[in-house]
């Protein structure tokens, strides 16, 4: 009977499903409209949910196939607390359910990549084989090596027309170097992005809810993590770095310094700063904006550069950055196909489409890889092949 307790589910499966999505017993109870004591009873084996309750737990709350609950023991699966060192423990414990799901989705993409490319990277040149970062070497020299490998000159960069083009060009160069870049609109707005290391198929995953300039900075920050051969998970507000242990603080500051030097080379920046008032805090909004536009970065990134070289006080940086953050406007949802195309790695999406038309994967398999419904495949393909991916 559907209203009778389900049999055959090991209690530890309930614990595993809850913990691997970052929920407390109280949160599950609220979402299921049951008491915390009832959830505790399921997890201890003293009681069990009914079949409809198990379905809701699986599909709506834990986002797991129903069949997984009938396994004899929980499958091995990494959780953020064990695979990321770059956020304080307190921040890792308070990651939202959506962030857990985004990390899980990124792992699924990595598995799909291994299946599509047979565990081999399709890029002709792999950046991590040529550029390996070290915290003990000079930031300027290492950032120059990254820019040289990506083959983006400063002369080319300053000619780009706007934030969209800057993000598109950096993203394409990084994908051409063997790293797959995915995006998603995170519900946890303060997460800027993360990366997953792999010997052959590493991934960078950006929060599309942030500005294009922030995504560009996050892209280079996570690239630095990968070139240090480590996973990374970062927040928009860098104050979290102060709460990290010493070694991890050093890593995060280093990755920020690499990203800043790649995007805003100090030699050129110092020359451009000569056109501003000697007291940088007296510079106008137009002057800050002009400098940011030159490099295709945010005004906050420019301000941070001035802080790093000792030209402004930290209090001025914090107040100005907070003021600019409050000015950001929400953008409309836009075209669904354009958004979905922007979320996926360009090389990954095109490989899926190619495999489908070679009859190597079915329409349903292709749609599943892309995270869309089969009926949306034609429209998605048309937009992607028109070069709409940004």
List the domain range (segments joined by +) for residue 212: 97-263
Write out 15-59 in H/E/C secondary structure.
HHHHHCCCCCHHHHHHHHCCCHHHHHHHHHCCCCCEHHHHHHHHH
Q: For residue 192, tell me if it sits in a domain.
A: yes
Rounded Cα distance between 118 and 115, Å, is: 5
User: For residue 240, is it within any domain?
Assistant: yes
> For residue 203, what are the β-bridge partners?
180, 196
- 172 and 128 in a single domain? The answer is yes
Strand partners, 181: 204
Res 390 pLDDT > 50: no
Q: How confident is the model over 180-216, as pLDDT tens digits?
A: 999 999 999 999 999 999 999 999 999 998 889 999 9
User: Are residue 227 and residue 366 in the same domain, yes or no?
Assistant: no
- 146 and 193 within one domain: yes
Choose the weakest-confidence range: 154-163, 172-181, 217-226, 350-359. 350-359
**Is the pLDDT assigned to residue 387 strictly greater than 80?**
no
252 and 115 within one domain: yes
Residue 339 lies in a domain: yes
- Examine the pLDDT at 81 and tell me if it is beyond 80: yes
Are residues 159 and 224 both part of a single domain? Answer: yes
Q: What is the CATH number of the domain that holds 68?
A: 1.10.260.40
188 and 141 in a single domain? The answer is yes
Nearest to 165 by CA among 387, 332, 384: 387
Do residues 178 and 127 both lie within one domain?
yes
pLDDT of residue 376: 82
Residues 61 and 103 in one domain: no
Write down which residue in 77, 107, 131 finishes a domain.
Answer: 77
pLDDT number for residue 147:
96
**What pLDDT score does 342 carry?**
77
Question: Which of 77, 109, 125 is the endpoint of a domain?
Answer: 77
- Domain membership of residue 343 (yes or no) is yes
Cross-strand partners of 50 = 5
- The answer to whether residues 62 and 147 belong to one domain is no
| Average pLDDT of span 61-70 | 92
Residue 185 forms part of a structural domain:
yes
- The pLDDT, as a whole number, for residue 272 is 92
Distance CA 293, CA 274 (A): 17
Q: Are 102 and 249 in a shared domain?
A: yes
Residue 34 tokens, joined: 């049951």
Give pLDDT, residue 343. 87
pTM: 0.89
Token pair belonging to 370: 């892309």
pLDDT at 389 over 90: no
Q: Please identify, among 234, 263, 292, the residue that sits at the C-terminal boundary of a domain.
A: 263
Other Cβ atoms closer than 10 A to 209: 20
Predicted local confidence at residue 388, as pLDDT: 47
* pLDDT score, position 155: 95
What average pLDDT is seen over the chain? 90
Phi, psi of 45 (to 5 degrees): 90, 5
What's the total number of domains in the chain? 3
Tell me: do 228 and 147 sit in the same domain: yes
Out of 61-70, 200-209, 348-357, which region has the weakest mean confidence (pLDDT)? 348-357
257-266: average pLDDT: 96
Q: Which two tokens stand for residue 11?
A: 């209690």
Same domain, 144 and 51: no
Lowest mean pLDDT among 37-51, 100-114, 229-243, 322-336: 322-336
Residue 218 lies in a domain: yes
pLDDT at 328 (0 to 100): 62
Domain annotation covers residue 131: yes
| Digit-coded pLDDT (tens) for 123-158 | 999 999 999 999 999 999 999 999 999 999 999 999
Asked if residue 282 belongs to a domain, the reply is: no
Higher pLDDT, 236 or 228: 228
pLDDT of res. 172? 96
| pLDDT at site 332 | 45
Q: State yes or no: pLDDT of 335 exceeds 60.
A: no
Closest CA to 162 of 273, 263, 272, 294: 294
């Amino acid at each position: 009977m559907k209203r009778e307790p389900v049999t055959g589910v090991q209690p530890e499966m309930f614990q595993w499903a809850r913990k691997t999505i970052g929920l407390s017993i109280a949160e599950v109870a609220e979402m299921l409209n049951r008491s915390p004591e009832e959830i505790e009873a399921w997890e201890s084996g003293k009681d069990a949910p009914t079949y409809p309750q198990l379905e809701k737990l699986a599909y709506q709350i834990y986002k797991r196939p129903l069949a997984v609950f009938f396994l004899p023991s929980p499958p091995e699966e990494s959780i953020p607390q064990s695979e990321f060192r770059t956020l304080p423990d307190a921040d890792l414990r308070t990651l939202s359910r959506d962030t857990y799901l985004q990390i899980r989705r990124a792992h699924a993409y990595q598995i799909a990549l291994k299946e599509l490319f047979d565990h081999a990277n399709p890029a002709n040149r792999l950046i991590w084989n040529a550029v390996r970062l070290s915290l003990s070497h000079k930031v300027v020299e290492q950032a120059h090596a990254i820019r040289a490998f990506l083959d983006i000159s400063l002369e080319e960069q300053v000619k780009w027309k706007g934030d969209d083009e800057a993000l598109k060009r950096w993203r394409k160069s990084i994908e051409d170097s063997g790293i797959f870049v995915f995006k998603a609109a995170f519900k946890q707005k303060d997460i800027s992005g993360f990366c997953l290391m792999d010997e052959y198929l590493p991934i960078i995953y950006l929060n599309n809810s942030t500005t294009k300039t922030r995504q560009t900075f996050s892209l280079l920050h996570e690239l630095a993590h990968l070139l240090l051969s480590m996973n990374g998970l970062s927040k928009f507000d860098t104050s979290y770095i102060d709460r990290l242990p010493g070694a991890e603080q050093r890593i995060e500051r280093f990755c920020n310094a690499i990203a800043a030097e790649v995007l805003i080379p100090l030699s050129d920046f110092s020359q451009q700063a000569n056109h501003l008032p000697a007291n940088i805090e007296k510079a106008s909004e137009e002057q800050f904006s002009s400098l940011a536009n030159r490099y295709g970065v945010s005004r906050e990134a420019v301000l941070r550069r001035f802080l790093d070289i000792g030209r402004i006080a930290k209090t001025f940086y914090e107040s100005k950055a907070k003021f600019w953050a409050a000015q950001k406007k929400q953008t409309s949802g836009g075209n669904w196909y354009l958004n979905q195309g922007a979320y996926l790695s360009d090389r990954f999406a095109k490989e899926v489409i190619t495999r489908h038309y070679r009859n190597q994967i079915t329409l349903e398999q292709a749609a599943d890889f892309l995270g869309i419904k089969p009926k949306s495949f034609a429209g998605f393909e048309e937009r992607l092949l028109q070069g709409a991916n940004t």
